[in-house]
Structure 1
Amino acid sequence: MASTFGVRLRKFRMAKNLSLQQLADEVGASKAHIWDLEQGKTSNPTLALLTELSRALAIPIKELIGEVDASADEENLAPLFRDLRGLTPEQLEVVRGLTKNLREMGNGGKSRS
């Protein structure tokens, strides 16, 4: 069974010998929020928090979130993710819709007549 984000976060934090408070201070979050992430009470951390956690723990984001089978093209996506940071919530919703449509097309969901 694949480990959850919280389990991985705790494992990497412990490997760095950081307390909850130390990691929270390092990433600009509350100790309670880090605890909730580790316990699975909170999910879906923001990209900004993932970036800070990745930096503080000195591991790639893909490893933190459990993407071990990432494609070689992933490096090409980094600039895209940086560009997404500056978008408004409305613009991000458009991007989500576009990516959903692209995934459906990739899964054989071609236009139906």
Structure 2
Amino acid sequence: MTTPFGARLRSLRKERGVTLKNLSDALGVSQAYLSALETGRRPKPTPARVDQICAYFGIIWDEAEALKDLARLSQPRVTIDTTGLSPEATQLANRLAQRLRRLDARKVRQLLDIVG
């Protein structure tokens, strides 16, 4: 299992021929930390870490914002607070939590398209 940020970080490294060691040395973090980010064993990185990664890869403007958005959307454990929402909203949150693992990639993509 990986996160959207982890998948993009690995993709960036591979596209540009950067090893975990090169990146870890440049960022001042361990290779284990970067590997855990890429594989989803580590939660989303801090905004400062994302800025470091953007600087390292020379990512600016829209591409940098897209990477920051992926980081914000890469928390592997999510809690949804439906306090004050409708009973239907609470039901939706609970059904999604129960069934998410059984959804195929096509259905997940459809749901992402619906919620934006």
Q: What's the TM-score, normalizing by structure 2? A: 0.51
CA distance in 2, matches of 1:11, 1:65: 15
CA distance in 2, matches of 1:27, 1:63: 20
**What is the correspondence of 1:1-113 to structure 2 with a 5 Å cutoff?**
4-60=4-60, 61-66=64-69
CA distance in 2, matches of 1:29, 1:64: 19
The gaps in structure 2 that reach 5 residues or longer are: 71-116
CA distance in 1, matches of 2:66, 2:26: 19
Higher relative contact order (CA 8 A, sep 6+): 2
Q: RMSD in angstroms over aligned alpha carbons?
A: 1.7
Greater per-residue helix proportion: 2
Residue identity opposite 2:46 in structure 1: T
CA distance in 2, matches of 1:65, 1:5: 8
Identical counterparts, % of pairs = 31
Distance 1:66 1:13, change over 3 A: farther
Give the 3-state SS of the residue equivalent to 1:43 in structure 2: coil
CA distance in 2, matches of 1:5, 1:45: 9
Summarize deviations over 1:53-91 as a string: whole Å, max 9, x none. Answer: 111112233232346xxxxxxxxxxxxxxxxxxxxxxxx
CA distance in 2, matches of 1:28, 1:48: 13
Summarize deviations over 1:14-53 as a string: whole Å, max 9, x none. Answer: 1111000101111111100000000011122112211111
Residue identity opposite 1:7 in structure 2: A
Residue identity opposite 1:46 in structure 2: T
The gaps in structure 1 that reach 5 residues or longer are: 68-113
Residue identity opposite 2:21 in structure 1: Q
